[in-house]
Amino acid sequence: MRISTVLSISNVEAGFLLRYYNWSVSKVHDEWFADEEKVRKAVGLLEKPVVKFPDGREMTCGICFESYPCDRLRTAACGHPFCDSCWAGYISTAINGGPGCLILRCPDPSCSASVGQDMIHVLASDEDRKNYSRYFIRSYVEDNRKNSSNSGSWFNMLLPDYCHHMIGSSRGE
């Protein structure tokens, strides 16, 4: 059964948990059910936005400080608004910095909310998406070498739709 189903969270959030716990499904379950709040804080999974995103008016990007209509700004789960250009630059810099991009957090220095792969895939360049996918797959392979208790096919064990998307992206499909 999928982690997202068991924990009633999104596939993106399940991906955060799996990477944080080195792809160990049992560790995710153990830690989540022992102290969900502690896990959410450690991984950057917010239950509700920190910042209210108002409807129908302009807001200021938190990086370039330009004003944009709300529909031209994006946020992570926290609600901190940034324009597409600033998000794209932030994501590109993180990916070019190496595998740390797999645990990307909100650009606001006071925030620890995780930034999902969905945002990365929308705003990253083709080359950055390929590099992100390589880091993602390498993370799974290397972490499973370290943790031999993980067994079975990762397509069956993880999030099949998401993993197929990641493999397809890394092959340029």
48-76 confidence digits (pLDDT tens): 777 776 666 888 999 999 999 988 899 99
CATH of the domain at 63: 3.30.40.10
Q: Is residue 28 part of a domain?
A: no
Q: Is residue 61 part of a domain?
A: yes
Q: Could you tell me if 15 and 162 are in contact, meaning their C-beta atoms sit under 8 angstroms apart?
A: yes
Task: For 108-143, write each residue's pLDDT tens digit.
Answer: 999 999 998 889 999 999 999 999 999 988 988 887
Measured from the Cβ of residue 82, the count of other Cβ atoms closer than 10 Å reads 24
Domain that holds residue 113: 48-170
Q: Is residue 17 part of a domain?
A: no
Count of domains for the chain? 1
Question: Would the pTM count as exceeding 0.95?
Answer: no
Q: Is residue 138 part of a domain?
A: yes
Task: For 75-96, write each residue's pLDDT tens digit.
Answer: 998 989 999 999 999 999 999 9
Q: Is residue 31 part of a domain?
A: no
Q: Is residue 106 part of a domain?
A: yes
Contacts 24+ apart (CB under 8 A), 103-112: 103/16, 103/19, 103/20, 103/44, 105/44, 105/76, 106/44, 106/76, 106/78, 106/80, 107/62, 107/63, 107/80, 107/82, 108/62, 108/78, 108/80, 111/50, 111/76, 111/78, 111/80, 112/41, 112/44
